[in-house]
Amino acid sequence: MLVHGTLIHAPVFGALEIVENALITVDEGGSISNVESVVNDARLETARDAGTLIELGSQQYLLPGLVDLHVHAPQWPQLGKALDLPLTEWLQRCTFPLEARYRDLAFARRSYESLVANLLANGTTTAAYFGSIHVEATKLLADIAYSKGQRAVIGKVAMDNADQCPDFYRDQTTSAGLDGTRELIEYIGGTGGDLLHPAVTPRFIPACTDGMLAGLAAIADEYGCHVQTHCSESDWEHRYVIDRHGIADTQSLDRFGLLTDKTILAHSVFVDDDDITTISGQGSGIAHCPLSNLYLSHAVFPARKVLDRGVKAGLGTDIAGGASPSILHNCQMAVSASRAFEDGVDATLAATERGTPGSRIDFREAFWMATSGGADALGLKVGRFAEGYAFDAIVIDTGIDDSELCTWDDLDTLDDVLQKIVYNAGRQNITDVWVQGRRVSG
C-alpha cells in the first residue's frame, strides 16, 4: 500500500517534521518500509490503477495515531459524571460500584464495545487499559480490542487491601489477585499477536497489600511484561503512601521492584527531584493526564521539568477521571495547564509572585507526548513515520462542514495547521484511522 499526501509528525521532542507530497510505502505486514517526498512519480499512477494508493486531499493531513497511556476501561459509562467529588469519595461511592458490575459479561461487552469504537473514532490507535478485577471481563476487553484492531496494553486491576477496598469489590485474597494476573498475561500472550500486550496492574499502593505489590513485581519480572499503576496522584494518595511506607510512591514502587523500563506511572503530579531521578534512572514512563488532574489531583503536573530531565512521558485521558476520550483535547489541556502553572492563578498576588516561571510547554511538545512520547514510554515502534515503524495513522480533514477546525491557505503555515488541529479538531475531522496498516475506523 502507498499513502501520498502531507504528513505532520514529531519524531524528536520539541520539533515538528512536516513533509509535503510524502509517499509512505507500507508493507504487507502493516509496517512502514519507506518514507520519501515525491511529485509526479510513476509509482503513483501504477498504484492508483492497482487500487493500492491512498491519496490525501489538499485539506487532509496524515498524523501518527494517538497514544493514550492511561484508560480505566470499566469506567467508560461514568465519563462526564461525578467529578464534583474528591478522589476517595469518587472511588468509594461511584467508581468501585460501577467496576464491580463487570462480573456480568453482558454488561462488560456492551461497555467495552462502545469504548473501543469510541477511542478509535477519536484517533487513539494505542491505549493502555486498566481492566476491572475480573479476569473474564478483562479477557473480553482484550478480545474486543483485538477484533476491532486497536493496539493495546491491558491489565487486570489488582487490589486486595481490605482497609481501602470494599468487600464487594476487591481480590478476596492476595493469591487470587496474583493468579488472575497470571491467567490474563498468559491469555493475552497466546491470543494477542503483535497488537496486544499484557500488563501487571496494581491499582495503586493504597489498594494493595505489600504481599500483592511484591508478588506482582515478581510476575512482571518473570514475564518481562508491562507494569502500570498510579503514582503520587493527589494530596491524599501521596500522603497515604508516606504514612504507610515512610517514603513516597516512586521510592516505594521502586523498592518493590515495580519500576522497570516497561512501567507506566499515571499522574506523578507530586514527584520531587529525587523521584524524577529514580523514574529516569529506571527508564520508566509517566502518563500525564492533565484534564483529570484538574479535578482529582488539585495540582498541575510539572511537565516542563520532567520533560527537560528526559523522562519518558506521554498523555492519558484517565477515563473517567478525565471527562474527555480525546487525546487531542488532552494535548490542549496539557498546554493550558502548564500555562496556568507558569503564570499562576491567584490575581490578588503580584504577577512576579503568582506563578512558577519556565513551566510552560507548547503544542508541539504536547503533540510529541501524544504520539512519539507515549509510544516510546510503552517501548512500541509506533508514533512516528519512519522505516520499521508500524503504520498507525490518522487523517485529519480540515475541510469538513460543521466543524470548528478552519484553515486558510493564504494565512496558515503547516505549523499553524497542526496548532489548529490540537485546539479545534473534533472526531468528525478524523476521517480515517489505521493500525498496523489496517483501516480500523473512519
Query: Alpha-carbon distance 117 to 300, whole Å?
Result: 30
Query: Alpha-carbon distance 305 to 338, whole Å?
Result: 11
Task: State the amino acid at position 50 in one-letter form.
Answer: A
Question: Which residue number has the CB closest to Zn ion?
Answer: 318
Rg (CA), the chain: 21
Count residues binding Zn ion (CB under 5 A).
Answer: 2
Three-state secondary-structure class, residue 88: helix
Give the dihedral of Cα atoms 276, 282, 285, 291; nearest 10 deg: -30
| Residue 319 Cβ vs Zn ion, minimum distance, rounded to whole Å | 8
| Residue 74 Cβ vs Zn ion, minimum distance, rounded to whole Å | 11
Helix (H) or strand (E) holding 377: helix 374-378
By beta-carbon proximity to Zn ion, the closer residue of 318 and 365 is 318
| Residue 368 Cβ vs Zn ion, minimum distance, rounded to whole Å | 22
**By CB under 5 A, which span of 16-24, 315-323, 358-366, 376-384 interacts with Zn ion?**
315-323
Query: Alpha-carbon distance 232 to 235, whole Å?
Result: 8
By beta-carbon proximity to Zn ion, the closer residue of 99 and 376 is 99
By beta-carbon proximity to Zn ion, the closer residue of 35 and 291 is 291
By beta-carbon proximity to Zn ion, the closer residue of 44 and 94 is 94
By beta-carbon proximity to Zn ion, the closer residue of 258 and 422 is 258
Task: State the amino acid at position 416 in one-letter form.
Answer: D
Residue 117: other Cβ atoms inside 10 A: 15
| Residue 266 Cβ vs Zn ion, minimum distance, rounded to whole Å | 5
| Residue 58 Cβ vs Zn ion, minimum distance, rounded to whole Å | 40
By beta-carbon proximity to Zn ion, the closer residue of 160 and 318 is 318
By beta-carbon proximity to Zn ion, the closer residue of 128 and 421 is 128
**By CB under 5 A, which span of 114-122, 317-325, 344-352, 376-384 interacts with Zn ion?**
317-325
How many alpha carbons lie under 13 Å from residue 405 in its C-beta half-sphere?
24
Query: Alpha-carbon distance 232 to 288, whole Å?
Result: 12
Q: Are strands 263-267 and 285-288 parallel, antiparallel or unpaired?
A: parallel
| Residue 314 Cβ vs Zn ion, minimum distance, rounded to whole Å | 14
Query: Alpha-carbon distance 379 to 126, whole Å?
Result: 12
| Residue 185 Cβ vs Zn ion, minimum distance, rounded to whole Å | 21
Residue 82 near residue 94 (C-beta atoms within 8 A): yes
Cell of 442: 473512519
Residue 365 engages Zn ion in binding (rule: CB under 5 A): no
C-alpha of 165 from chain center: 26
| Residue 350 Cβ vs Zn ion, minimum distance, rounded to whole Å | 36
By beta-carbon proximity to Zn ion, the closer residue of 200 and 418 is 200
Query: Alpha-carbon distance 97 to 82, whole Å?
Result: 13
Cell of 193: 499477536
Give the phi and the psi of residue 426 in degrees, each rounded to 5.
-110, 175
By beta-carbon proximity to Zn ion, the closer residue of 318 and 376 is 318
Determine whether 9 is exposed, middle or buried from the number of CB atoms within 10 Å of its CB (0-12, 13-18, 19+): buried
| Residue 114 Cβ vs Zn ion, minimum distance, rounded to whole Å | 19
Give the phi and the psi of residue 306 in degrees, each rounded to 5.
-65, -45
Residue from 68, 160, 318, 376 in contact with Zn ion (CB under 5 A)? 318
Which stretches of 73-204 are DSSP H helices?
A: 87-89, 96-100, 105-121, 135-148, 174-191
Residues 254-283 that bind Zn ion (CB under 5 A): 266
By beta-carbon proximity to Zn ion, the closer residue of 61 and 129 is 129
| Residue 200 Cβ vs Zn ion, minimum distance, rounded to whole Å | 16
**By CB under 5 A, which span of 5-13, 139-147, 191-199, 310-318 interacts with Zn ion?**
310-318
Q: Which residues bind Zn ion (CB under 5 A)?
A: 266, 318
